Chain A
């Protein structure tokens, strides 16, 4: 990503556009060579950042959003970068493939659902079923970092990738069914979680050195992106727990005859 005057920057006023018109306009900007696109007055338009596939892997854009993007922000995201100055709705990063999404606020349900690559950073809390069926394979390792807490079914049926729940801002974790059906990947939680809040398919483990490295890396990125009033060091000074699946096929016996 280039900086300063070199960057080919375009701006769209979304206030009178439907989701299709807005996404057409974004696509046109990319085809015209935009490297950064500023969206102003976004009022719930869906699918922003989708439909921006380019066969040229270097052809990446940064999309900066002012307002509230609608559901499925960055769905199938193909390596682009999205920054939201505000809250997001449901389905942030649905099945995203690569790239980064930063939300300076909270996000709704199913953040990172079926995500298979790239990184999502949510400054505040998220709704139900975050990281549901997140997956990873052959070098793809999706990462979701949540500053606050999550509602029920965090990491449900999770199959790969990394979820980090930071519990910042004196929130207590009230989610139940964390990691239900989980069979791959890892969830790190800072703050207290009772045994009954966890799904039957996960076990609680102590952190190892490689876990510390992972947390150091992504918490640093998180604190770099957001103005939090708390440092990486302070965040990491509190204890984290690690959740791992106890089986690779938790429902193997349910469906086998």
Chain B
């Protein structure tokens, strides 16, 4: 699929990793968040760690993802990919207690509260160190458990070569070649996949109602940072999934409403629920080719 991209954005996601390949125990891989940080400016690492990782989290392992020595050895790779550091982390107990207290999350399952802490912390890192239209020093590639995302300005297969993943094992892979055509078309954070909480999402086509979906998200406290419809679609998924706690069926209905004959064929009780979902979420439903 090389020729479906133009080298302005390539990405991969891997889910269901091997604890042996990562040099951690099985339980650390299963329980810890795997935080991947792209450093466009290697100097930013200590600021990221001291501000957003070490005081807040117990780090079970951290390391720089190994790379080939010189990116120019890979034909076609025009820009140096970021240094990527990975951290196996859990939020410190006292930090999480305080977060739960301050945000009144006592009713929430503790693990879900920890998810929310990680999610908000990544948002803070991204707003502090990455501006799509300005200075770009670092950003979070992914933060879910037992999964990782890598992306570069280049082709997806160059990620595998540059970060030496030829023998890296995972149960599920996504690879994406970007062919950006619209807007501020490329910057390192603009490549797919985009992260939700424990999800990686790629997409093609575009939303005719991108701005409407952005407004819908902002009214609900979600602020897109990367200027692309793919990011807003995963923010939408995460909002419906973690904030509204919808089952997958209702998430799908909110994002892709059932209409016309398909709607008429539903049993009346289903129609009632779907109509309520559509009334509430139609403005957040992606529309277009």
Contacts and interface: CB of A to CB of B under 8 A. Distances in A.
Contact of B261 (A19, A20, A44, A176): A176
A176 B3 CA distance: 36
B261 A196 contact: yes
B202 to A, nearest CB: 16
Contacts of A18: 2-3
Interface in B244-275: 261-262, 265
B1 interface: yes
A18 B1 CA distance: 8
A19 B3 CA distance: 9
A42 to B, nearest CB: 13
Nearest to B3: A18
A18 B265 CA distance: 45
Interface in B211-267: 261-262, 265
Interface string A177-202: 10000000000000000001000000
Interface residues of B, number: 6
Contacts of B2: 18
A177 B262 CA distance: 11
A72 to B, nearest CB: 14
Interface residues of A, number: 8
B256 to A, nearest CB: 15
Contacts of B3: 18-20
Contacts of A19: 3
A19 B1 CA distance: 9
Nearest to B262: A176
Contacts of A20: 3
Contacts of A177: 261
Nearest to B4: A44
A177 B261 CA distance: 10
Nearest to A44: B1
A30 B192 CA distance: 40
Interface in A7-23: 18-20
Interface string A29-70: 000000000000001100000000000000000000000000
Nearest to B265: A196
A134 B3 CA distance: 31
A177 B3 CA distance: 36
Contacts of A44: 1
Nearest to A197: B261
Nearest to A20: B3
Interface string B1-16: 1110000000000000
A177 B1 CA distance: 34
Nearest to A176: B261
Contacts of B1: 43-44
Interface string A156-191: 000000000000000000001100000000000000
A18 B177 CA distance: 14
A49 B262 CA distance: 38
A43 B4 CA distance: 13
A20 B3 CA distance: 10
Contacts of B261: 176-177, 196
Contacts of A176: 261-262
A109 B265 CA distance: 24
Nearest to A43: B1
B255 to A, nearest CB: 19
Which 9 pairs from chain A and chain B are nearest by CB? A18-B3, A176-B261, A44-B1, A18-B2, A19-B3, A196-B261, A176-B262, A196-B265, A177-B261
11 contacts: A18-B2, A18-B3, A19-B3, A20-B3, A43-B1, A44-B1, A176-B261, A176-B262, A177-B261, A196-B261, A196-B265
Given A18-B3, A19-B3, A43-B1, 8 more contacts: A18-B2, A20-B3, A44-B1, A176-B261, A176-B262, A177-B261, A196-B261, A196-B265
